[in-house]
Each structure stands twice: as C-alpha cells, then as structure tokens.
C-alpha cells in the first residue's frame, strides 16, 4: 500500500498554485450531458474522483478526449444510457450528480444508492423530494433509484429543508429543461454552485440568483456545448494556508489560483487565531505564527465555515494557547479524524457533535490513518510540525481530492515522500 511519510520540523516557503475545484469539476462534467456535442472543460484537477466521473459518463456513451493534464473535451452526442452503476457510485457519492442531467436529457435515470467518504448519513431524500415536485416519479429497489419524468418536467417552487449543495445542483440541472419557471428556495450558496450556473447560462440556460438563497430557472428547450474554466479549489487553498501558518519560513507561503472571498469565513477565523496573511493577486501570502489563539467554530453551509476545512483548522486549534470548541453541524462522523490526531499528542474530547480541544505544546510523529479526504490531508499537514516522522496510510482518500499533494509540499521545501510499503494485512 502507499503511504505518505512526513519528517517534521522543516520550514516551507515559496508559491503553490491550487488546482481546479473538485466539487465544481465533478458537477460540470455531469452537466455536459445536458448539451449534446463537445464541451471543453479547462483547469480540471487530475484526481481520482474526476477519473471516476469520467468512467460514469463513458458508461453512458460519452467520449472523453484528454487534451492535456487539466483539459478535457467531453462529447455527449452519442449518450444513450441512463444508468450510473453501483461499482462507480459506491466509490464516489458525487456521481449522483448525473441524476438531474439525465432527467433533463433523457427523461429517466437509474442511479445506485451513493457511497463516497464515510461521513455518516448523506441521504438524497431532498434531491428526490425536489425532483418529485417537478413531476418526476421515483422507485427504489435492489439498491437502485429509478427516476422517470414521464411526459416531461414542469416548473415549480421547491423549498429545501436544508441548504443542500447536491440537491440544489441536481434541481438546477433538471430544471433547466423543465417547462416553465422553477424557484429553489433555501438554495445552497456555495461558489461551486455559482460556477455551475455560470456554465449552464453560457450553454443557453436562464438561471438567476445563483449564490443567493433563491435561485430562479426558466426552462429552455435545448442547450449547446461551450468551453468553460473550472474555478480554483478553495478547500485545497485552505489546506495549504494552514500548512503555511504552521511551518512557513521568513518569506511566507504564497497560495494562489483561487478567489480569497470564497474562503471568507475561514480567513476571518484564521485572523482571530492570530494567523498573519496578506492578499496578493490571485490568492494570499501566509506567514508562520508563533502563538495560536483559541477559537470557537461551527460548520455551516456557505458563507459559513465549511465542513471541509474543519479538520485542518482542528490541527491549528490543537496547538493553540488555550481551549477551543469545534461544532460539526453537517456530517455526524466528521470527528473520526480527531482520534488520529490524538495519536500524535493532541488533547481532544468528543461530545456528540462538539470537539473540545485543549491546546498542547507540540505533536509527536506517529502512524496514523486517513479517515476521509480532508482528514487525511490534515494529518499530513500536522506531520509538518510534529517531532519526528509521521506516516499517513489509507491515502487513497487524499488522492480523491488533492492533485500532486506530496509534490506540491516537496516543492515548498517540506520533507515529505510517498512510498509503497507492504500491506500489514497481507503479512
């Protein structure tokens, strides 16, 4: 198996350019189903989740030309299947994003029940309830969801119980081909949703209000292919900003390729923790902080603090001069990461969806296991400041969302390597 080995205590500095946003690229790839022909996506991250979504589209009859490492031409002209099979959906929950586009394109869909990171009950009830309001009929059996739009979808006002990103995206992608006007109330406001709406509008859709709690979609009869650039990954940016706050040399670490306002609440909380950074063109420069101040954080939908940055900031909080509380409101299993950080010397107590964190003087290198995508990256970042060597296993989680993670750290001067070791289970 592959592991990431980190030798702690070495300062990092220089410039890192983040890749395209995973959570945007996957939905944009799904949206190409709505416009028969060749759509070109640029700034696509070269990560395993993108490869899985490519297989989902190919299984439906699409062809994908890899122009370069970050550009894809997706031809959906010959799409004639409407099934996302179990073996792919089980690997990545985001593959359920083809549900809305398939209903818009073909009027029906068959989707396996979702998988992905083990973060708890990530139900798609709201997707189904919203699409039912547009006239879609659903059946579930043998682990599959069957959806049929019958005579076609019609516009309707849909109020989401929770500002779900996935439900908002699926509803937008279905509604662009529904007859009449669809209004999504309590819509998610994430930058990735704005990116999706922008591309769909370039394709000929009529979407207004993306990025606000009320999104209005006027249905259109057809969409056409376009060329579109994926926005930068704000979560990858946040991960490297935390790494810089822990171990930046005198020159600091420049993190570029993203829009800082997409990380507004994260940067605000980091300021409260005493992290020193400045805005530069296309990103921020962050400096190492000697004394980290404690802070209380609760994860919320955008523009609140993102759940995907919770583990990285917990690393900072675990070294703070005082006690912090992190409240996780999005995923109930997101604190699996905490027990691994405790192995490195952190003092963390979990009570329900609260993490009580008492700052310690430092971490000790240890063997730890990635519990999920963001937690795995955060453990590697913790290893940068730990005394001794940290070995992070189950790094397939990290591969799902971080492109060339080890290489980027090495280019900043970190003593990090990816190595293949015997799987202890096989011994």
Q: What is the DSSP string of 244-296?
A: HHHHEEEEEEEEESS-GGGGHHHHHHHHHTT-EEEEETTEEEEE--SSPPP-E
How far apart are the C-alpha atoms of 264 and 274, rounded to whole Å? 16
Helix or strand or coil: residue 424?
helix
Spatial contact of 160 and 186, defined as CB atoms under 8 Å apart? yes
Give CA–CA dist 22/46, Å, rounded. Answer: 9
Query: Choosing from 12, 29, 33, 117, which is the catalytic residue?
Result: 117
- Is residue 93 a known part of a binding site? yes
Distance CA 42, CA 70 (A): 6
Q: Is 148 annotated as a binding residue?
A: no
23 is in an annotated binding site: yes
At residue 67, the 3 state secondary structure works out as strand
CB neighbour class for 360 (10 Å; exposed up to 12, middle 13-18, buried from 19):
middle
Q: Cβ atoms within 10 A of the Cβ of 285, count?
A: 20
Residue with tokens 């963001």, as numbered in its chain: 374
- Whether residue 143 contacts residue 113, with contact meaning beta carbons closer than 8 Å, is answered with yes
Cα separations in angstroms, 89 against 97, 140, 193: 10, 15, 21
55 is in an annotated binding site: no
Binding site annotation covers 22?
Answer: yes
Clarify whether 117 is annotated catalytic. yes
Q: Return the active site residues.
A: 117
Residues of the binding site: 22-23, 93, 308, 330
Residues of the binding site for UDP-N-acetyl-alpha-D-glucosamine: 93, 308, 330
Residues of the binding site for phosphoenolpyruvate: 22-23
């Amino acid at each position: 198996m592959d592991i990431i080995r980190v030798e702690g205590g070495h300062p990092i500095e220089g410039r890192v350019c983040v890749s395209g946003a995973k959570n945007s690229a996957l939905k944009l790839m799904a949206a190409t189903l709505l416009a028969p022909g060749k759509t070109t996506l640029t700034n696509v991250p070269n990560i395993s989740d993108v490869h899985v979504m490519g297989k989902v589209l190919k299984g439906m009859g699409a062809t994908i030309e890899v122009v370069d490492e970050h550009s894809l031409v997706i031809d959906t002209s010959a799409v004639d299947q409407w099934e996302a099979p179990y073996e792919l959906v089980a690997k990545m929950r985001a593959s359920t994003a083809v549900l809305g586009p398939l209903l818009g394109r073909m009027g029906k869909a068959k989707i396996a029940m979702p998988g992905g990171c083990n973060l708890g009950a990530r139900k798609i009830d709201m997707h189904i309830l919203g699409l039912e309001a547009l006239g879609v009929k659903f059946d579930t059996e043998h682990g599959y969801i069957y959806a049929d739009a019958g005579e076609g979808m019609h516009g309707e006002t849909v109020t989401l119980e929770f500002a779900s990103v996935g439900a908002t995206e699926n509803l937008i992608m279905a509604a662009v081909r529904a007859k009449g006007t669809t209004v999504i109330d309590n819509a998610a406001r994430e930058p990735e949703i704005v990116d999706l709406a922008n591309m769909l509008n370039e394709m000929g859709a009529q979407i207004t209000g993306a990025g606000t709690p009320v999104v209005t979609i006027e249905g259109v009869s057809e969409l056409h292919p376009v060329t579109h650039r994926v926005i930068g990954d704000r979560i990858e940016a946040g991960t490297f900003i935390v790494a810089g706050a822990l171990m930046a040399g005198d020159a600091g670490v420049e993190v570029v390729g993203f829009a800082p306002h997409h990380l507004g609440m994260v940067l605000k909380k980091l300021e409260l923790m005493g992290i020193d950074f400045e805005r530069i063109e296309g990103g921020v420069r962050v400096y190492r902080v000697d004394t980290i101040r404690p802070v209380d954080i609760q994860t919320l939908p955008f523009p609140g603090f993102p759940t995907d940055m919770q583990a990285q900031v917990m690393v900072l909080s675990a070294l703070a001069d005082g006690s912090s509380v992190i409240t996780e409101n999005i995923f109930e299993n997101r604190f699996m990461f905490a027990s691994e950080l405790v192995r490195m010397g952190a003092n963390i107590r979990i009570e329900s969806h609260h993490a009580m964190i008492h700052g310690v003087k430092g971490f000790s290198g240890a063997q730890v296991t990635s519990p999920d995508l963001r937690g795995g990256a955060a453990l590697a970042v913790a290893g940068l400041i730990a005394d001794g060597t940290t070995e992070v296993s189950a790094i397939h989680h990290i591969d799902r969302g971080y492109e060339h993670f080890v290489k980027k750290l090495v280019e900043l001067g970190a003593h990090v390597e990816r190595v293949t070791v015997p799987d202890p289970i096989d011994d």
